[in-house]
Amino acid sequence: MNVIPFTAGETLMNVIPFTAVTMTDGVITIDADLLAPKLGLSVEVLKAEMRRGHVYSVTEQGIDSDAGRTRLTFRYRARSSCVVVDPDGTLVEGPASTNIRAR
């Protein structure tokens, strides 16, 4: 993976392979080989947990200065993984979170 240079105050984000996420007619597909380790799972367990409804995703469309961007957040228990799709199709991985608390 390539690391994008950053300055103080910015978040470190990695560019991920273009083919890892596809968005076609409102259907989002992510490469299980990429997502599974981000959620601390094997590919087999990821697929099983998805079938059970224990892995889910949230899609957010950017507004104002983020217009044209789409943020995809995948969650499993207290873990999450985020991918931002830039207007030019560049996929950027956000920092993972393993510390989500229920309110």
53 phi/psi in degrees, rounded to 5: 85, 15
Name the pTM for this structure.
0.72
What is the 8-class DSSP label of residue 12?
A: P
As a residue count, the chain comes to 103
Distance CA 16, CA 7 (A): 20
pLDDT tens-digit map of 56-82: 999 999 999 989 998 999 999 999 999
Cα 90–Cα 94–Cα 95 angle in degrees, nearest 5: 155
3-53 residue pLDDT tens: 333 334 444 457 777 778 887 887 878 899 989 999 999 999 999 999 999
List all residues 6 or more positions away from 89 whose beta carbon is below 8 Å from its beta carbon: 18
